[in-house]
Amino acid sequence: MRKKWLLAACTTIALAACQATGNLGAQQDSGSVAEASQNLNRAMVDADSATLARLMSDELTYGHSGSKVDTKQSLIRDLTSGAVDFVNINITGQTVKVVHNTAVVRHTLAADVIVDGKPGKVKINVLQVWLRQDNQWRLLARQGVTATQ
C-alpha cells in the first residue's frame, strides 16, 4: 500500500513539473514571438531590408486591409524603395498564442504612413501567423482589416 501511495505521489509531482515546464516554455515562446513582431515593426519603420528578410518566411503572404497581397520580395521592395514609408507604428491590444511551431499574433496597428508620396494614417486590426523555422520565428502570413472605432 505504501509503495502505491509513493508511486502515485511521485507521478503527481512529475506531472506537475512537466506542466510547469511546458507553461514556462510556452511563455518563453510567446515572449520571443512578441519580440519578433516588435522587431518586424521596427524594421518596417527603419526600412531595414536585412532585418525584414531575416524575419519573413520565403513563403510569406502579406495581406493589406485594402485587399492588396504582397510576397516577401514585393513587400521588402515597397518598404525599402520609399513607395510605402511607415513614419511610426503603434501597437495595442496584442495577444500571442503559440501552438507547437506556429504562433498567432493579433493586435491593433495605428501608424502614420506615406504611400506614393501622400501622407496618411492607418488603423487596422492585424492577424499574423509566425512559424518557427531553423530555431527562429519567421512571419508566414499576415492579414490586416480596417479597425472599427
pLDDT digits (tens, 9 = 90+) for 13-47: 444 443 444 444 455 688 999 999 999 999 999 99
Identity of residue 109: L
108 and 91 Cβ atoms separated by less than 8 Å: yes
pLDDT tens digits, 66-102: 999 999 999 999 999 999 999 999 999 999 999 999 9
Span 2-146: which CATH code? 3.10.450.50
Identity of residue 63: G
How long a stretch of residues is the chain?
149
What's the predicted TM-score (pTM) here?
0.80
121 and 112 Cβ atoms separated by less than 8 Å: yes
Domain ranges of the chain: 2-146
